[in-house]
Amino acid sequence: MNDELEQQETSYTSDDIKTLDWKEHIRRRPGMYIGKLGDGTHPDDGIYVILKEVLDNSIDEYAMGYGKQITVDIAADGTVAVRDYGRGIPLDKVVDVSSKMNTGGKYDSAAFKKSVGLNGVGIKATNALSSYFEISAYRNGEGKTVKYERGEIIENLPIYKTDEQDGTSVRFKPDGDLFRNFSFKEETVETMMKNYSFLNTGLTIIYNGRKIHSRNGLLDLLKDRMTNEPLYPIIHFTGQDIEVVITHAAQYGEEFYSFVNGQHTTQGGTHLTAFREAVSRTIKEFYGKNFEYSDIRNGMVAAISIKVEEPVFESQTKTKLGSRDMGPNGPTVAKFISDFLKKELDNYLHINSDTAEIMLHKIQESEKERKAIAGVTKQARERAKKVSLHNKKLRDCRIHYNDTKGDDRRNESTIFITEGDSASGSITKIRDVETQAVFSLRGKPLNTYGKTQKVVYENDEFNLLQAALNIEEGIDGLRYNKVVIATDADVDGMHIRLLMITFLIQFFPDLIKKGHVYILQTPLFRVRNKKTSRRQNKRKKGENAPSDTFYCYTDEERIAAIERLGNNAEITRFKGLGEISPDEFRSFIGADMRLDPVVWRKEDSVNDMLEFYMGKNTMERQLFIINNLVVEDDGELDMTH
């Protein structure tokens, strides 16, 4: 009898075979087309990918010499409008290019052989993943407009007469059912627009009324991104299908930006690997000294952009180049970049002796410091091995970011850096053991401002932390995509947060600049109905809180919750993460986790802030504290204002 039931349950008939239409497949499997969905917190979230898919078509038109301006407007409700002034889509193909898979104008076309969007998906993904999508094409005084909802045509207007200038207009709004609570972050979109301008000199982008324009390409990019002054004038080379900028700054680590056919390859790829190797080898050979590559690249800030025929990327989101060759009949990517740098950089250093001397001094300083801490480094690594990380400091997860052959969820890999056993215990009990790790700090970390790298290895907390992150040799081996600082919402917690960020800025700036560092936002208050509080305390493990329990992250949310509950409101102020029960913590680090990315921009004047807050000017800080103290209603001192 059991065998018969099992056969019935596992039966496989023709009814089980289904064919999904194009939009349904995209909506059911968005990860195949845009990577993760997200809510806009991270630059790799899907709303930026579907915006990019629209913009890439306009950029391709500009690259072919049509239309010098693109207008991008993003409304408060998330509606996006993109207008270019290229040739416009052929009017009889507007429906096809916006709703038929594997349809585009870049197949077998010499005009687009070095384009990014070659697979005929592009705006179809944007269309399918938008609650509203409208596309209009204008050519020679005629226009064609098609309107969609979630990929379904709701209006297909006949060709009409128009005074509009030639080009294409797209309006869309990401589907809130898929991109839950999404919002476009100003800094992320602005960075995207700047990248387009840096890589397409002469192009003007009007973003929400602001003009973005570049005349000097990657040179402008480096000037915009560098948070420390260059030690020598930025070296800038341009050639056929390649552009490179190089300098050094007084900082640790390597800071590289890479692009292929106008696409920002945030995860690098074959071109970045070749560039790092070639620039190190060329400099080493120029000086004729046995420098280690790590010393040559320490403090280096550089960018490379190449154009490849029919590029192959490792995913639909095109963040990592997989191509080995420049094209079907071209040299390898590695040889192309190596030959270019060998000629241009070697000649430049021979001619510009002042720059060569400054570069040499920087490399020698890095070498000297590395050798000085060699013994300390070895001892520190031995100590790290002896300390049982997996039992005492680190509760690891199973899926890691640096496992390139690992699970599709590796981008979800997260490590929470907490203070004390109680907070780490709460998170550890309810975390996702597949993708979430916990590292417990003991007390307040050392203030590392103005210290040398030697302190990282001499300090047990930082030595163990960098070992856990696997960043001793740089962030290429980073084990967690998100490094989340999870401290208490009080003065001590904020101090620890500042000490941690100071440490990362000092010694691992690229960890922040590559978008890996976040602050965990946890509620300051719990406001609940007194009548149901007893029932809440007795609810089963894992059960959601009653609907009349509100977790408030701001005073405004607290006031609104009190108004809803009236006299029955019971208010709890969370001053430490350890006060929040594991069951309550479940939602705070789950799908609706609130993370604030740590963003470091040139205009932030971070060095000046670190000097003031973390330097030796004790009296200045004391006066600042006295002048800015605020006493809360509960008598606590609040230094957050």
CATH number of residue 386's parent domain: 3.40.50.670
Do 284 and 153 sit in the same domain of this protein? Answer: no
Do 495 and 382 sit in the same domain of this protein? Answer: yes
Pairing of strands 167-174, 80-84: antiparallel
pLDDT score for 535:
54
pLDDT score for 340:
97
pLDDT class for 542, splitting at 50, 70, 90? Answer: very low
Last residue of a domain, one of 158, 186, 213: 213
Tokens of 281: 């080898």
Pairing of strands 482-486, 525-529: unpaired
Pairing of strands 414-419, 482-486: parallel
Q: Is the pTM of this model over 0.85?
A: no
Mean pLDDT over residues 471-485, rounded?
Answer: 90
CA–CA separation, 292 and 374 (whole Å): 14
Domain coverage including residue 228: 218-372
In Å, what is the CA distance from 41 to each residue of 128, 316, 517? 22, 20, 12
pLDDT score for 37:
87
- Asked if residues 153 and 18 have their Cβ atoms less than 8 Å apart, the reply is no
Q: Which residue has the higher pLDDT, 586 or 56?
A: 56
pLDDT score for 14:
53
CA–CA separation, 547 and 563 (whole Å): 15
Do 105 and 166 sit in the same domain of this protein? Answer: yes
Which of 39-43, 177-181, 420-424 is predicted most confidently?
177-181
- Asked if residues 218 and 195 have their Cβ atoms less than 8 Å apart, the reply is no
> Could you tell me how many helices (H) and strands (E) the chain has, helices first?
23, 25
pLDDT class for 555, splitting at 50, 70, 90? Answer: confident
Do 420 and 437 sit in the same domain of this protein? Answer: yes
Q: Characterize 501-537 residue by residue with b for buried, 16 or more Cβ atoms within 10 angstroms of its Cβ, and e for exposed.
A: bbbbbbbbbbbbbbbbbbbbebbbbbbbbeebbeebe
Within a 10 A sphere around the Cβ of 572, how many other Cβ atoms?
Answer: 15
pLDDT score for 639:
42
Number of domains in the chain: 4
Q: Is 628 within the bounds of a domain? A: yes
Q: Is 181 within the bounds of a domain? A: yes
Q: Is 139 within the bounds of a domain? A: yes
Above 70 in pLDDT, residue 621?
no
Do 265 and 345 sit in the same domain of this protein? Answer: yes
Q: Is 276 within the bounds of a domain? A: yes
Q: Is 591 within the bounds of a domain? A: no
Do 239 and 186 sit in the same domain of this protein? Answer: no
Do 175 and 200 sit in the same domain of this protein? Answer: yes
Provide the CATH number for the domain around residue 106: 3.30.565.10
CA–CA separation, 227 and 41 (whole Å): 22
Q: Is 529 within the bounds of a domain? A: no
Last residue of a domain, one of 372, 407, 431: 372
Q: Which residue has the higher pLDDT, 472 or 169?
A: 169
Do 348 and 381 sit in the same domain of this protein? Answer: no
Do 378 and 506 sit in the same domain of this protein? Answer: yes
Do 280 and 356 sit in the same domain of this protein? Answer: yes
pLDDT score for 494:
84
pLDDT score for 107:
38
Do 335 and 439 sit in the same domain of this protein? Answer: no
Query: What confidence tens digit (pLDDT) does each residue in 495-527 have?
Result: 888 899 999 988 999 999 888 999 998 888 889
Above 90 in pLDDT, residue 232?
yes
pLDDT score for 580:
79
CA–CA separation, 60 and 66 (whole Å): 9
Q: Is 559 within the bounds of a domain? A: no
Phi-psi region of 230 (alpha: psi -120 to 50; beta: other; left: phi over 0): beta
Q: Is 556 within the bounds of a domain? A: no
pLDDT class for 108, splitting at 50, 70, 90? Answer: very low
Q: Which residue has the higher pLDDT, 282 or 543?
A: 282
Do 350 and 395 sit in the same domain of this protein? Answer: no
pLDDT score for 428:
86
